């Protein structure tokens, strides 16, 4: 009887240990899905995400994508392998550090955005084209070169849209003298870039729906903020035009 009880307790302990181990493995699989390959939907979503996010945080996009490929978190498409090169990671990481702080200083952020206009849009086009390089054009009845050109065109357009939205938003925020709104908006943008890249590779259909909503909101926001900035400029010009007359 004693041997039977001992054997029973041993079996119970083993079963509990096995259950805990299986539960731990399942939790790890849920928390950190192992992406070994990207299907066509994921590649298209990644191309769109890279294009859109480049208009907001180009150097963060370059560094995060390259680092994810180096660490094995993301299977990098062939056209983006260059991002994982140590020299590229060093350069993008250095520029990311500069942009991270410059983007949170009032007025400096707008000047930085203006300078980056000539970089972000073509970079967004190039990244989208690189992401789509692993997609076979025959699946869509077109040549691979046509697929690349279409991806570059859409990626550049998405980058231009997000960049214009960012510039007008920051210009409107800079009409306020306090710096906290700049810092808060910059941190929100940081989170949006990371979230977009994650959503595109893990839930491409959800990303597509979210991107459609964001694009509509971006157009509305640009129109509203441009009207607001024009009104501010009219007040400023009216103030300076009226000051000599009142003196």
Question: Does residue 234 come out as left (phi exceeding 0), alpha (psi in the -120 to 50 range) or beta?
Answer: alpha
pLDDT of 180 reads 87
**For residue 238, what pLDDT band results from cuts at 50, 70 and 90?**
low
Residue 175: Cβ within 10 Å count: 11
Among 64-73, 97-106, 155-164, 175-184, whose mean pLDDT is lowest?
Answer: 175-184
**For residue 178, what pLDDT band results from cuts at 50, 70 and 90?**
confident
Across the range 89-100, mean pLDDT stands at: 96
Q: Output the CA–CA distances (angstroms, integers) from residue 143 to 5, 6, 38, 64, in the order listed.
A: 72, 70, 21, 30
Q: Flag whether pLDDT at 125 surpasses 90.
A: yes
**For residue 26, what pLDDT band results from cuts at 50, 70 and 90?**
very low
CA 171 to CA 162: how far, in whole Å?
14
pLDDT of 171 reads 86
Per-residue pLDDT tens over the stretch 33-51: 455 678 888 999 999 999 9
DSSP state of 139: G
**For residue 11, what pLDDT band results from cuts at 50, 70 and 90?**
very low
Across the range 94-119, mean pLDDT stands at: 93
pLDDT of 231 reads 81
Q: Flag whether pLDDT at 241 surpasses 70.
A: no
Q: In 7-102, where do the E strands start and end?
A: none
Across the range 218-242, mean pLDDT stands at: 80
Q: Flag whether pLDDT at 221 surpasses 50.
A: yes
Q: At residue 76, what are phi and psi to the nearest 5 degrees?
A: -70, 130
Among 124-128, 176-180, 203-207, whose mean pLDDT is lowest?
Answer: 176-180
Helices (H), the chain: 2-31, 40-70, 86-102, 108-131, 144-173, 180-202, 204-246
pLDDT of 8 reads 43
Question: Which one is predicted more confidently, 238 or 29?
Answer: 238
Across the range 196-217, mean pLDDT stands at: 95
Q: Flag whether pLDDT at 159 surpasses 50.
A: yes
The rounded mean pLDDT for the chain is: 82
Across the range 136-165, mean pLDDT stands at: 84
CA 109 vs. chain centroid, Å, equals: 18
Across the range 69-88, mean pLDDT stands at: 91
Q: At residue 63, what are phi and psi to the nearest 5 degrees?
A: -70, -45
pLDDT of 21 reads 44
């Amino acid at each position: 009887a004693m041997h039977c009880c001992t054997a029973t307790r041993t079996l119970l302990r083993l079963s509990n240990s096995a259950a805990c181990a299986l539960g731990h493995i399942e939790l790890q699989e849920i928390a950190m899905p192992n992406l070994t390959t990207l299907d066509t939907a994921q590649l298209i979503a990644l191309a769109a995400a890279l294009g859109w996010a480049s208009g907001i945080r180009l150097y963060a996009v370059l560094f995060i994508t390259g680092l994810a490929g180096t660490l094995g978190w993301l299977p990098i498409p062939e056209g983006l392998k260059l991002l994982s090169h140590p020299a590229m990671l060093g350069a993008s990481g250095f520029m990311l550090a500069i942009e991270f702080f410059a983007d949170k200083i009032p007025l400096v952020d707008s000047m930085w955005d203006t300078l980056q206009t000539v970089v972000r849009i073509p970079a967004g086009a190039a990244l989208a084209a690189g992401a789509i390089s692993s997609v076979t054009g025959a699946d869509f009845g077109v040549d691979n070169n046509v697929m690349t050109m279409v991806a570059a065109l859409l990626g550049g357009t998405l980058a231009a849209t997000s960049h214009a939205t960012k510039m007008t938003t920051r210009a409107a925020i800079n009409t306020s003298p306090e710096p906290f709104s700049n810092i808060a908006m910059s941190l929100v943008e940081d989170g949006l870039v990371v979230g977009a890249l994650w959503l595109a590779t893990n839930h491409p259909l959800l990303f597509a729906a979210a991107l459609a909503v964001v694009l509509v909101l971006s157009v509305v926001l640009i129109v509203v903020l441009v009207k607001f900035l024009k009104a501010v400029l009219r007040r400023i010009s009216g103030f300076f035009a009226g000051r000599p007359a009142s003196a």
